[in-house]
A and B are shown apart, each in its own frame.
Chain A
Amino acid sequence: MIPEAGTGALLVALVLALYGATAAAIGGRRGRPALIESAQHAALGVFALITAGVLLLVYAFLTFDFSVRYVANNTNLGTPFYYRITSLWGALEGSIVLWAWMLSIYTLIVILRHRTSARELYPWALSVMLSVMAFFLLVMTVAAPVFARLTPVPGDGRGLNPLLEDSGMITHPVALYLGFTGFTVPFAFAVAALITGRVGDFWITTTRRWTIVAWYFLSLGLLIGGWWSYHVLGWGGYWAWDPVENAAFMPWLTGTALLHSVMIQERRRMLRLWNIALVMLTFGLTLFGTFLTRSGVIASVHAFSQGSIGIFFLSFLALVVLAGLGLIALRWDALAAQGELDSVVSRESAFLLNNVLLVAATFTVFFGTVFPLLAEAVRDTKVSVGAPFFNQVNVPLFLALIFLMGVGPLIAWRRASLENLRRNFLMPVLVGIVAAAVIRLLGVSSILAVVSLALTVFVAATIGVDLTRATRARLKMGEPALPALGGLLLRHNRRYGGFIVHFAILVVCVGVTGSQAWSVHTETTLKRGEETALGGYTIRFDGLRESQESNHGKVTGTFTVVNGGRAAGTVLEPAKKFYPQEQSPIAYVDYRLGLLDDIYLVLGDFARDGTSATVKFQVNRMVSWIWIGGLVLTLGTVLAILPERRRTS
Chain B
Amino acid sequence: MKPKFLIGGAVIVLALGYLIWAGVTQSAVYFVTPSELSAAPVTGKAYRLGGLVERGTLKWEPATLDLTFSITDGKTHVPVRHKGAPPDLFGEGRGAVVEGQWTSDGYFKATQILAKHSEEYKAPHDAKEAQSRGLIKTLEKGER
Contact = CB atoms under 8 A, between A and B. Distances in A.
A158, A356, A384 pick with most chain B CB within 10 angstroms = A384
Interface string A362-387: 01100110011100100001111110
A446 interface: no
Contact of A367 (B20, B60, B119, B121): B20
B134 interface: no
Given A306-B120, A384-B143, A614-B85, A583 B127 contact: yes
A65 B102 CA distance: 52
A396 B12 CA distance: 12
A91 B63 CA distance: 40
A604 B85 contact: yes
Contact of A299 (B31, B83, B121, B138): B138
A372 B23 contact: no
Interface string A583-594: 111110000000
Given A385-B29, A392-B23, A583 B90 contact: no
B81 interface: no
B75 interface: no
B124 interface: yes
A607 interface: yes
A385 B65 contact: no
A161, A298, A576 pick with most chain B CB within 10 angstroms = A298
Nearest to A388: B27
A73 B121 contact: yes
A607 B60 CA distance: 12
B4 A344 contact: yes
Contact of A389 (B8, B23, B90): B23
Nearest to B62: A525
A581 B123 contact: yes
Interface string A472-505: 0000000000000000000000000000000000
A580 B28 contact: no
Nearest to B83: A523
Contact of B88 (A306, A581, A586): A586
A299 B48 CA distance: 15
Contact of B144 (A340, A382, A525): A382
B110 to A, nearest CB: 14
B20 A364 contact: yes
Given A341-B2, A583-B117, A604-B85, A360 B62 contact: no
Given A393-B23, A584-B88, A296 B119 contact: yes
A303 interface: yes
Given A376-B144, A523-B85, A580-B124, A385 B138 contact: no
A584 B65 CA distance: 20
Given A376-B144, A523-B65, A583 B124 contact: yes
Contacts of A91: 121
A235 to B, nearest CB: 9
Given A305-B121, A584-B88, A612-B62, A386 B16 contact: no
B86 interface: yes
Nearest to A580: B124
Contacts of B119: 296, 299, 303-304, 306
Interface SS majority for chain A: mixed
Interface in A36-53: none
Contacts of A158: 121-123
Nearest to A583: B127
Q: What size tier do the contact residues of chain B reach?
A: 35 or more
B113 to A, nearest CB: 11
Interface string B15-29: 010011011101111
B27 A299 contact: no
Nearest to A577: B88
Interface string A69-90: 0000100000000000000000
A565 B106 CA distance: 47
A546 interface: no
Interface SS majority for chain B: mixed
B144 A298 contact: yes
A299 B89 contact: no
Given A364-B16, A385-B23, A585 B29 contact: no
Q: What size tier do the contact residues of chain A reach?
A: 35 or more
B26 A525 contact: no
Nearest to A90: B121
B91 interface: yes
Contacts of B32: 382
B8, B30, B88, B89 pick with most chain A CB within 10 angstroms = B88
B144 A523 contact: no
A392 B27 contact: yes
B88 A356 contact: no
Contacts of B144: 298, 372-373, 376, 382, 384
B142 A614 contact: no
Given A393-B23, A614-B85, A300 B121 contact: no
Contacts of B91: 583-584
A363, A581, A612 pick with most chain B CB within 10 angstroms = A581
A548 interface: no
A383 B28 contact: yes
A604 B138 CA distance: 26
A164 to B, nearest CB: 10
Given A524-B65, A584-B89, A304 B121 contact: yes
A385 B62 contact: no
B29 A386 contact: yes
Contacts of B19: 364, 392-393, 396-397
Contacts of A524: 65
Given A360-B16, A523-B84, A382 B30 contact: yes
A612 B4 CA distance: 68
Contacts of B120: 305-306
Contacts of A397: 19
A382 B27 contact: no
A300 B12 CA distance: 33
Interface in B73-127: 83-86, 88-91, 94, 115, 117, 119-124, 127
B117 to A, nearest CB: 6
A305 to B, nearest CB: 7
Contact of A605 (B12, B20, B86): B86
24 contacts: A296-B119, A296-B141, A303-B119, A304-B119, A364-B23, A373-B144, A382-B31, A384-B28, A384-B48, A384-B144, A385-B27, A388-B26, A389-B23, A390-B23, A393-B19, A393-B20, A397-B19, A523-B84, A525-B63, A580-B124, A584-B90, A584-B117, A604-B84, A604-B86
Which 4 A/B pairs are nearest by Cβ-Cβ distance? A604-B85, A382-B31, A299-B142, A388-B27
Given A360-B12, A389-B27, A392-B22, 19 more contacts: A91-B121, A158-B121, A304-B121, A306-B119, A341-B5, A344-B5, A356-B9, A372-B144, A373-B144, A389-B28, A390-B23, A392-B19, A396-B19, A523-B84, A524-B65, A580-B124, A604-B86, A605-B60, A616-B85
